[in-house]
C-alpha cells in the first residue's frame, strides 16, 4: 500500500529503489555496476550511471544539489576529482562531501549519495 502520490519510485525491489523523487527533489545512491575494472573506469561508470538516473526524472547533471562521496581508499581522490571535474558542467557544481569509508563490497571504489532537483 502506498497512498502518497507525491512520491515516485524507480527500480524498486524488496530492498531498495534506484531512485525516489518527492516534491521536486530526487534521491539516489550509486555504486559501480561493474566493479571489476580499475578506479578511473569505475568513476567514469558511476557518473554515467548518475546521468541515467537523473534522466529518469527529467533532471540532469546541471541540477545536482548535493553529493556525498564515500571512498574506501583516499589515494583514489585525485583520480576521482579528475573524472569529476571533467563531468560537472561549468557553474553547476553541487555541494560535495567526501569521507573515507569501507563499502559493503570490497571491489567498489566509491559509493555516491546524490540529491538533485527534478521535475
SS3 letters for 52-79?
Answer: HHHHHCCCCHHHEEEEEEEECCHHHHHH
47 binds its own copies (CB under 8 A): no
4 binds its own copies (CB under 8 A): yes
CB of 79 to its own copies, least distance (A): 13
Q: Cell 560537472 maps to which residue?
A: 88
3 binds its own copies (CB under 8 A): yes
Rg of the Cα atoms in the chain: 14
Q: Residues in the site for its own copies, rule: CB under 8 A? A: 1-4, 6-7, 9, 12-20, 22-25, 27-29, 62-66, 68, 70, 74, 77, 81, 84-85, 88-104, 111, 113, 115, 117
Amino acid at each position: 500500500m502506498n497512498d502518497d502520490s507525491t512520491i515516485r519510485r524507480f527500480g524498486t525491489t524488496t530492498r531498495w529503489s534506484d531512485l525516489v523523487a518527492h516534491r521536486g527533489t530526487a534521491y539516489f545512491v550509486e555504486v559501480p555496476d561493474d566493479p571489476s575494472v580499475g578506479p578511473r573506469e569505475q568513476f567514469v561508470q558511476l557518473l554515467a550511471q548518475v546521468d541515467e538516473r537523473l534522466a529518469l526524472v527529467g533532471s540532469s547533471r546541471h541540477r545536482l544539489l548535493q553529493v556525498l562521496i564515500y571512498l574506501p581508499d583516499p589515494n583514489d581522490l585525485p583520480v576521482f576529482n579528475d573524472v569529476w571535474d571533467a563531468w560537472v558542467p561549468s557553474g553547476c557544481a553541487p555541494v560535495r562531501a567526501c569521507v573515507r569509508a569501507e563499502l559493503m563490497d570490497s571491489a567498489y571504489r566509491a559509493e555516491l549519495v546524490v540529491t538533485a532537483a527534478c521535475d
